[in-house]
Structure 1
């Protein structure tokens, strides 16, 4: 069950803030059922991510009040590294942001937006030195990959002792095992929504909303040299597609207001998209 102090503290903070469970659920991007069950202590192993979302909405300091849920380890503790691709590119190690120079950030973004896939030397060179790769660039790419490995603790990570930045024939692979990656979370929520839509469309609508609200902004918004890369373009288009799917589902359920915030965000990123404009009318 949810720890008593956390449960009571979250509920008291919500009431003090003058918010209903429905309002908290909407702002936190989780279901009303989840809010209700957490407040009643009916969740055996609540996700720490859900508790954090609730706490932020109601202004409750989780760190200062009681332990985390037992039996369900904190995702950040289980995954010492976290990478956020939506919004400014950010790497966290043990919960703290890690600074890196521009070219290292560009390499990290390029590899992380294509997790567990081979990224070739030439592709990396095109990003690090657009249109003008220096002679012997393969050696420089190797140097940057080595530096990025050091950011991940001398390159050890993942099961079997494999390198986080693995060397393969012709390029490198970012091993995402054990890394908290917002791109994965986005896709997981979208997949759950798609599976749920046929038999529980209201829950699917909430899941689509959670996926879209979990984004902190445009993909790699502070790494402009990657904006036109095919993998980044695909992710940006994926956001448009999901926002469109959510809007269509909301209209079928006669809840057009639920779609507005997501359509506005998507239209801001692609103002000329005819499908989004049509749904806004």
Structure 2
């Protein structure tokens, strides 16, 4: 019996030593590539599990892993990175900034100042050129329809090129002006200009909602503003010529019934209708 117990203890010790040999602790430091400074709060997780940790204020971390685990390093504003542990015990990671997230900007102000979307304290929406021209629209107003929440575009008349009324978040006044301000390349323009802008010439349209977003444009922008940025040439791009054409056909539903037989009285007399075509003298002098 004692021999069997000794054999069991030996097997347990061997199994425990094998388990401890497979698991090990990995330490390291996470820094930013741009300035080399440590990054606190970086999420470090073993892929496929819920086991993980975060870096401290000095960018250092420590985590227990098994053989050939994969560590996933995630941090806001940086590209996610995965590293295989293999036989390593110290792994220093350098994270690269995510240019896509850093490039998320919004045009704000009459001077076209660009700021990151997370830095502003009001609601904005940007519609790019691809979304504006996705359905081959004939004017910019049609391109914005259904693209921005809270943006209402209504036609004022039924012509081929009808005027439009643009409101943001509903009407604010019963008798006052509820139209949003149109700003073209930093210059406020009348609302009628929207239909004369070629959608293919527009780079993007930024919609500023609320009076706080449009404070730089005065009381005219109290209903919000549409900032239109047109395309510009670049020295790095090759010259390119594009041509687009569109036409519209409208069928007239009916013509008004207008009389063409009689005209209005203008003070003429009967004698004025009987004159010699050569001399101009009246032929009838009975009056």
Q: TM-score, normalized by length of structure 2?
A: 0.25
- Between structure 1 and structure 2, the one with the greater Rg is 2
Greater RCO between the two (CA within 8 Å, min separation 6)? 1
Kindly indicate which of the two structures has a greater share of residues assigned to strand: 2
Q: TM-score, normalized by length of structure 1?
A: 0.25
